[in-house]
């Protein structure tokens, strides 16, 4: 199997606070994980590639100081939304890459819905 979990599944926070989202690969090790953002009725937008033991690679237009990514182990990556604002409200989805670069397959977590008031 290839199971990926996310925690929390939903979170409501006040503007200005920081929120941490965890992504875990439960039954396989993943040196690479990805973080996506999805707006209603839209596709997934890749935010960053998280690599275990090294700095994340951010896509163009994504603020690295706003969205902090830490891939501390082969089964855990975290995304911290710092000083969240209402425009950060979204559905955040992570995926973990099973296999090696170029021939691996991404398995997705169930997503975390963030609402910033």
Kind of pairing, strands 112-116 and 76-81? unpaired
> Judged by CB under 8 A, which of 63, 72, 110, 117 binds other proteins?
110
Indicate whether 8 belongs to the interface with other proteins (CB under 8 A): no
Four-point Cα dihedral 80, 32, 36, 18, nearest 10: 0
| Binding to other proteins, residues 12-51 (CB under 8 A) | 32, 34, 42-44, 46, 49, 51
Q: Give the residue carrying structure tokens 């163009």.
A: 60
- Which among 11-19, 60-68, 70-78, 100-108 is the span making contact with other proteins, rule CB under 8 A? 100-108
Measured from the CB atom, the residue of 54 and 65 that comes closer to other proteins is: 54
Indicate whether 89 belongs to the interface with other proteins (CB under 8 A): no
Given a contact cutoff of 8 angstroms between Cβ atoms, the answer to whether 7 and 79 are in contact is no
The encoded tokens of residue 14 equal 């006040």
10 Å Cβ neighbour count for 77? 30
The encoded tokens of residue 30 equal 């993943």
> Judged by CB under 8 A, which of 81, 97, 114, 116 binds other proteins?
97
Residues that bind other proteins (CB under 8 A): 4, 6, 32, 34, 42-44, 46, 49, 51, 57, 93, 95, 97, 99, 101-111, 113
């Amino acid at each position: 199997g290839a199971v990926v979990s996310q925690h929390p599944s939903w979170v409501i926070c006040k503007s200005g606070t920081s929120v941490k989202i965890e992504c875990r690969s439960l039954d396989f090790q993943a040196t690479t994980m990805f973080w996506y953002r999805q707006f209603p009725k839209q596709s997934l937008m890749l935010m960053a590639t998280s690599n275990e033991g090294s700095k994340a690679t951010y896509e163009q237009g994504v603020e690295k100081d706003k969205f902090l990514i830490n891939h501390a182990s082969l089964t855990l990556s975290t995304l911290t939304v710092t000083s969240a604002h209402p425009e950060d409200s979204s559905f955040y989805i992570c995926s973990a890459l099973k296999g090696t670069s170029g021939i691996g397959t991404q398995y997705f977590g169930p997503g975390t819905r963030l609402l910033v008031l």
